[in-house]
């Protein structure tokens, strides 16, 4: 399998070339285009019960698609739903990476484990709070960001980040989720949560966040007619 | 206090570098990340500091009222990173005393204490669209961080130009403006889809953004599931 | 006509310099700024050759779609006795490309991808599948013919894919394609896939020609945002 990342960092697009028998698992809705000899199978992520639990807590979709090439040199284009960057991370056996659920795009490698972790704090306004995926190798992980990715080396002194702006972080960092001390605007500007980091590692920050966009768009939605 | 802007022009992130004791005042939802040594206070429209007057109207976009947080570095230097809601560029416009800048409400991101902010109710209404404008007057001296939805164009105006206000970020003193028709005839202007259109005249700078938040809002919002009333 | 595509690839806009009496037609709402000397005329986006009946049909179809999907149906035409400058911008982020037609080839442009065209270009609405008319799924296309320039905008970046045989593209990711290609709209693979896979419909291209693929999809954005919204 070959991969190439196009249009980054503005509209990262993953261009994969699959050989016969190769498989890629991707987030529901990620397919842009594909060659004629690629099959698609839709499954519930991790089985029915695990998927249901995850949907209630984690907010990512219940379903994922497995793309399998029946012939060689099949093109498969995948894209995240929102504008921004796209990165690849090769994980060695046992290597851990924490990724915000909404940033997951696709992965290769049947042994790669994706496990949902909850930040432990509900948002100030009663929302679901903050969720991360704990990704454990071996395997290849593809993820996107909303906006650009700003890398912050965390060391002595620590660092604080709005949870909506977290793409991911390396193993070895301690993290604690809490409400933000200042005023964050009305509900839709964000969950009102920040994450304090300590230890040594790398934090990946995205320069835009989904709840702010949702809040911006909310007044533009059509109003449900009563009695519909 | 110094603004450093990275990832221009589409996904810009502003880093406000603060020496010990220095402050920056940022629009409430703009905080992305920060060092742990900053004190935070919230300023609102009712009392609070720096010239925010009691009566102002909600911004057209998103209906957010105007609140700011002030970040102050304690003990050592620190920084706070800032970003607006929508994708696009940011720029720190240097203010000089006696030369105020008029900024669309949702385009303001942050400024130091040396910049005074005054909300102004413009009372400009589109003839059919019902669209209203909310401007801030920034005066004093120092850098004012503004955002653009999309790319930012600085137009050096000497004469006149017709502008769709959804694309208007800011303009300097010395520019006059009046509401005008977007198309020939009143009905056509309504149908033209332009909303509030201004004729701007004079000598000075007009800052434009290459996307229109209202158009974007309708294009995406109309596709979202409907909401309760 | 002088044209400049500026601020790409993320937030491109089109700056057009018009000669005296020269005209450009643009999607309603696209104007950013214009010379005060330019005239603006607003009209229905019907084919220039359409008779009264054609215009009435276009009117009702557009009304129906506006009721269902909120799309505009009007265009603005800019011109002036001394010429002038007009800047046009699309609604979403992305790129703009110019396609020139010489009267022998045609171009299909996905409805949201039409930004502007010069006089001499004729546009007609076509539907890629019956479901499109009422369901909002599928493909609403503008068939562009004639001689002149068409300015197309994308949501995201544009990737040119030369097709020689068969190729499958999610309908939301199509910007435009050569009129010479055969195309068929279908669901991605079986009923279950359609309901659950998150992929809506796909378009199967066959033949020889170029397909212009955009790297973002409004439906995917909507699907991703929906769980974050309150009721």
Higher pLDDT residue, B104 or C193?
A: B104
Instruction: Convert the pLDDT of each residue in A38-69 to its tens digit.
Output: 998 887 765 555 555 544 444 456 678 899 99
Contact residues on chain B for A152, CB-CB shorter than 8 A: 33
**Which chains have 3+ CB pairs within 8 A of A?**
B, C
Query: Quick check: C54 pLDDT over 90?
Result: no
DSSP string, chain B: -EEEEESTTTB-EEEEEE-TT-EEEEEGGGEEEE-TTEEEEEE-SSS-STT--S-----TTTT----EEEEEE-SS-EEEEE--SSSB-EEEEEEBTTB-EEEEGGGEEEE-TTEEEEEEEEEEE-TTT--EEEEEEEEESEEEEEE-SB-EEEEEEEEEEEEEGGGEEEEETTEEEEEE-SSSSHHHHHHTT--SEEEEEEEEEEEEESS-HHHHHHHHHTTSPPB--
Q: Do the chains contact at B188 and C42, CB–CB below 8 Å?
A: yes
Q: Does B80 touch chain A (CB under 8 A)?
A: no
Q: Do the chains contact at C156 and A36, CB–CB below 8 Å?
A: no
Contact residues on chain B for C41, CB-CB shorter than 8 A: 183-184, 188
User: What is the chain B residue with the closest CA to C225?
Assistant: B224
C-alpha distances in angstroms, C94 versus B9, B210, C111? 13, 11, 15
- Of B162, B216, B224, Cβ closest to residue C229: B224
* C208: alpha, beta or left? (left if phi > 0; alpha if psi -120 to 50): beta
Element (H, E) at A49: helix A48-58
**In terms of Cα–Cα distance, which of B181, B169, B177, B171 is closest to B201?**
B177
**Superfamily of structural domain B2-221:** Mitochondrial biogenesis AIM24 (3.60.160.10)
Q: How confident is the model at residue A117 (pLDDT cuts 50, 70, 90)?
A: confident
Q: Do the chains contact at A216 and B85, CB–CB below 8 Å?
A: yes
Question: Of the ranges A4-18, C115-129, C172-186, which one carries the lowest mean pLDDT score?
Answer: C115-129
User: What is the chain C residue with the closest CA to B8?
Assistant: C10
User: What is the chain A residue with the closest CA to C156?
Assistant: A11
Query: Beta strand C158-170 with C121-128: parallel, antiparallel or unpaired?
Result: unpaired
* pLDDT confidence of residue B67: 78
A94 to chain C, closest Cα gap in Å: 30
- Where along chain B do its domains lie? 2-221
β-strand partners of B4: B15
Q: How far apart are CA B66 and CA B105, in angstroms?
A: 8
ipTM: 0.85
End-to-end CA distance of chain A: 50
Instruction: Convert the pLDDT of each residue in C71-89 to its tens digit.
Output: 456 789 999 999 999 999 9
C-alpha distances in angstroms, A179 versus A191, A199, C98? 8, 21, 49
Q: Does A177 touch chain B (CB under 8 A)?
A: no
Q: Do the chains contact at A147 and B228, CB–CB below 8 Å?
A: no
Give Cα B140 to chain centroid, integer Å. Answer: 17
Residue where the block lists tokens 């504008």: A83
Paired tokens of C175: 């910007």
Q: How confident is the model at residue C69 (pLDDT cuts 50, 70, 90)?
A: very low
Query: Quick check: C22 pLDDT over 80?
Result: yes
Q: Do the chains contact at C32 and B189, CB–CB below 8 Å?
A: no
β-strand partners of B80: B16, B34
Altogether, the residues listed in chain A come to a count of 228
User: What is the chain B residue with the closest CA to A145?
Assistant: B11
Q: Do the chains contact at B217 and A219, CB–CB below 8 Å?
A: yes
Q: Does B130 touch chain A (CB under 8 A)?
A: no
Q: Do the chains contact at A182 and B6, CB–CB below 8 Å?
A: no
Instruction: Convert the pLDDT of each residue in A140-163 to its tens digit.
Output: 999 999 999 999 999 888 999 998
All domains of chain C in start order, with CATH: 2-228 (3.60.160.10)
* pLDDT confidence of residue C127: 73
C64 contact partners, CB below 8 Å, separation of at least 6:
C133, C134
Residues B77-84, mean pLDDT to the nearest whole number: 96
Best probe of the A interface among C159, C224, C227, by most A CBs < 10 A, is C224
Q: In whole numbers, what is the pLDDT of chain A averaged over residues?
A: 84
* pLDDT confidence of residue B37: 94
Residues C21-36, mean pLDDT to the nearest whole number: 92
Instruction: Convert the pLDDT of each residue in B104-116 to its tens digit.
Output: 888 999 999 899 8
pTM for this one? 0.87
- Of B87, B162, B228, Cβ closest to residue C36: B162
C173 to chain A, closest Cα gap in Å: 6
Residues B185-201, mean pLDDT to the nearest whole number: 73
**Which chains have 3+ CB pairs within 8 A of C?**
A, B
β-strand partners of C116: C26, C151
DSSP 8-state code for residue C94: B
* pLDDT confidence of residue C186: 79
Q: Does A186 touch chain B (CB under 8 A)?
A: yes
C5 to chain B, closest Cα gap in Å: 11
* pLDDT confidence of residue B58: 33
Instruction: Convert the pLDDT of each residue in C95-142 to its tens digit.
Output: 999 999 999 999 999 988 999 999 999 888 777 654 444 444 567 888
Instruction: Convert the pLDDT of each residue in B8-58 to its tens digit.
Output: 999 999 999 999 999 999 988 899 999 999 999 887 653 333 333 332 333
Q: How confident is the model at residue C50 (pLDDT cuts 50, 70, 90)?
A: low
Q: How far apart are CA C128 and CA C137, in angstroms?
A: 10
Phi first, then psi: give them for residue B219, nearest 5 degrees.
-60, -40
C80 contact partners, CB below 8 Å, separation of at least 6:
C18, C20, C21, C35, C37, C38, C39
Q: How far apart are CA B148 and CA B151, in angstroms?
A: 6
Altogether, the residues listed in chain B come to a count of 229
Question: Of the ranges A18-22, A38-42, A83-87, which one carries the lowest mean pLDDT score?
Answer: A38-42
Q: Do the chains contact at C91 and B216, CB–CB below 8 Å?
A: yes
Residues A135-144, mean pLDDT to the nearest whole number: 95
Contact residues on chain C for A12, CB-CB shorter than 8 A: 215
C130 contact partners, CB below 8 Å, separation of at least 6:
none
Q: In whole numbers, what is the pLDDT of chain B averaged over residues?
A: 83
């Amino acid at each position: 399998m070959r991969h190439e990342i196009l249009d980054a960092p503005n509209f990262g697009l993953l261009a994969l070339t699959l050989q016969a028998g190769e498989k890629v698992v991707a987030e529901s809705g990620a397919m842009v285009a594909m060659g004629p000899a690629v099959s698609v199978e839709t499954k519930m992520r991790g089985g029915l019960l695990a998927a249901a639990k995850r949907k209630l807590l984690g907010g990512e979709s219940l379903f994922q698609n497995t793309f399998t090439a029946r012939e060689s040199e099949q093109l498969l284009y995948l894209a995240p739903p929102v504008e921004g960057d796209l990165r690849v991370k090769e994980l060695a056996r046992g290597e851990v990476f924490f990724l915000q659920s909404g940033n997951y795009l696709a992965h290769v490698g049947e042994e790669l484990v994706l496990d949902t972790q909850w930040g432990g704090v509900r948002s100030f306004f009663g929302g679901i709070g903050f969720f991360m995926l704990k990704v454990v190798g071996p395997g290849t992980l593809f993820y996107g960001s909303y906006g650009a990715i700003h890398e912050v080396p965390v060391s002595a002194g620590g660092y604080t980040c709005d949870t909506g702006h977290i793409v991911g972080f390396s193993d070895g960092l301690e993290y604690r989720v809490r409400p933000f001390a200042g005023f964050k605007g009305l509900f839709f500007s964000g969950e009102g949560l920040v994450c304090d980091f300590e230890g040594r590692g790398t934090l990946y920050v995205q320069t835009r966040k989904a709840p702010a966009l949702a809040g911006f768009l909310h007044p533009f939605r059509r109003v449900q007619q009563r009695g519909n | 206090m110094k603004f450093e802007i990275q990832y221009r022009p589409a996904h810009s992130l502003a880093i406000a570098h603060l020496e010990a004791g220095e402050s920056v005042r940022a629009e409430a939802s703009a905080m992305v990340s920060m060092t742990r040594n900053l004190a935070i206070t919230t300023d609102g429209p009712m009392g609070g500091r720096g010239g925010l007057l009691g009566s102002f109207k909600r911004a057209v976009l998103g209906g957010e009222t105007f609140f700011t947080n002030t970040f102050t570095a304690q003990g050592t230097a620190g920084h706070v990173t800032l970003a607006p809601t929508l994708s696009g560029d940011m720029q720190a416009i240097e203010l000089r005393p006696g030369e105020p800048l008029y900024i669309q409400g949702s385009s303001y991101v942050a400024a130091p204490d040396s910049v005074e902010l005054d909300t102004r109710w413009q009372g400009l209404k589109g003839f059919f669209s019902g669209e209203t404008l909310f401007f801030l007057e920034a005066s004093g001296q120092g850098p004012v961080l503004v955002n653009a939805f999309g790319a930012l164009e600085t137009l050096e105006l000497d004469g006149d130009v017709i502008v769709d206000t959804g694309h208007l970020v800011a303009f300097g003193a010395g520019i006059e403006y009046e509401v005008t028709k977007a198309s020939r005839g009143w009905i056509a202007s309504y149908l033209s889809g332009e909303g509030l259109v201004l004729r701007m005249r004079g000598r000075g700078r007009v800052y434009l953004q290459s996307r229109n938040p209202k158009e974007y809002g309708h294009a995406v919002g109309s596709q979202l599931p409907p909401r309760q009333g | 006509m002088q044209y400049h595509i500026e601020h790409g690839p993320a937030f491109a806009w089109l700056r057009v310099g018009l000669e005296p009496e020269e005209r450009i037609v643009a999607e309603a709402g696209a104007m950013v700024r214009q010379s005060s000397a330019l005239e603006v005329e607003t009209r229905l986006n019907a084919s220039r050759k359409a008779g009264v009946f054609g215009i009435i049909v276009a009117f009702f179809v557009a009304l129906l779609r506006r009721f269902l999907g909120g799309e505009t149906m009007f265009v603005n035409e800019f011109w002036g006795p001394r010429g002038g400058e007009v800047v046009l911008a699309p609604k979403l982020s992305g790129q703009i490309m110019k396609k020139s037609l010489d009267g022998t080839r045609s171009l299909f442009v996905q409805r949201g991808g039409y930004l502007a065209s010069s006089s001499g270009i004729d546009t007609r609405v076509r539907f890629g599948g019956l479901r499109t008319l009422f369901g909002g799924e599928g493909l609403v296309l503008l068939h562009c013919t004639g001689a002149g320039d068409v300015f197309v905008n994308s949501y995201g970046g544009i990737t040119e894919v030369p097709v020689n045989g068969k190729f499958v593209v999610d309908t939301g990711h199509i910007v435009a394609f050569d009129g010479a290609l055969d195309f068929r709209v279908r669901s991605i693979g079986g009923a279950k896939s359609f309901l659950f896979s998150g992929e809506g419909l796909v378009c199967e291209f066959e033949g020889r020609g170029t397909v212009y693929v955009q790297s973002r999809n409004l439906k995917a954005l909507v699907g991703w945002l929906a769980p974050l919204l309150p009721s």
